[in-house]
């Protein structure tokens, strides 16, 4: 519980900080903090492979891509980095209402006595790279192939987008 409370609080605090941080670089760094603490939460749930994948894919690749684009657009340019203004009263009120409604709608998932029971122990090797790989190449083979196709399509799409138009 100690790990959950500490890293859950860090994740939530970083997320709220992202919401109010007007500097895009700082927001990206807060996102790294959030993703790393969520990775630790994965570890406390016994998902060892996802712990490593989260660090490599999210913190290592996606956030670096964000920072790379911020640098590419120009880190010294005001219009890239910051927003024109702080939240105004109208945004506070409407955002608060939307947040409460969304939380109330999602709170329905918390019902059920099973959610409050102790988490069952896991079989040996649950969440290891081996068990995920076995599952990936047997039960989930078709979705796995489709994600490969998705990555190919994304790569081609980015090449088309990045191509300079001939003059």
Select 76 or 79, whichever has its Cβ closest to other proteins. 79
Select 5 or 166, whichever has its Cβ closest to other proteins. 5
Select 103 or 167, whichever has its Cβ closest to other proteins. 103
CA–CA separation, 15 and 9 (whole Å): 10
CB of 163 to other proteins, least distance (A): 10
CB of 63 to other proteins, least distance (A): 8
CB of 166 to other proteins, least distance (A): 16
Select 8 or 166, whichever has its Cβ closest to other proteins. 8
CB of 76 to other proteins, least distance (A): 14
């Amino acid at each position: 519980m100690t790990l959950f409370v500490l890293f859950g609080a860090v994740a939530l605090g970083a997320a709220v900080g992202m919401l109010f941080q007007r500097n895009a670089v700082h927001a990206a760094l807060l996102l790294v903090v959030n993703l790393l603490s969520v990775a630790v939460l994965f570890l406390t749930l016994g998902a060892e492979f996802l712990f490593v994948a989260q660090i490599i894919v999210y913190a290592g690749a996606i956030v670096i891509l964000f920072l790379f684009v911020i640098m590419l657009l120009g880190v010294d340019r005001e219009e890239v980095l910051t927003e024109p203004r702080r939240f105004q009263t109208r945004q506070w009120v409407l955002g608060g209402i939307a947040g409460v409604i969304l939380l109330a709608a999602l709170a329905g998932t918390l019902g059920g006595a099973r959610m409050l029971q102790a988490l069952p122990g896991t079989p040996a090797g649950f969440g290891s790279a081996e068990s995920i790989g076995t599952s990936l190449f047997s039960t989930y083979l078709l979705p796995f192939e489709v994600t490969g196709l998705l990555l190919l399509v994304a790569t081609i799409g980015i090449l088309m987008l990045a191509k300079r138009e001939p003059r």
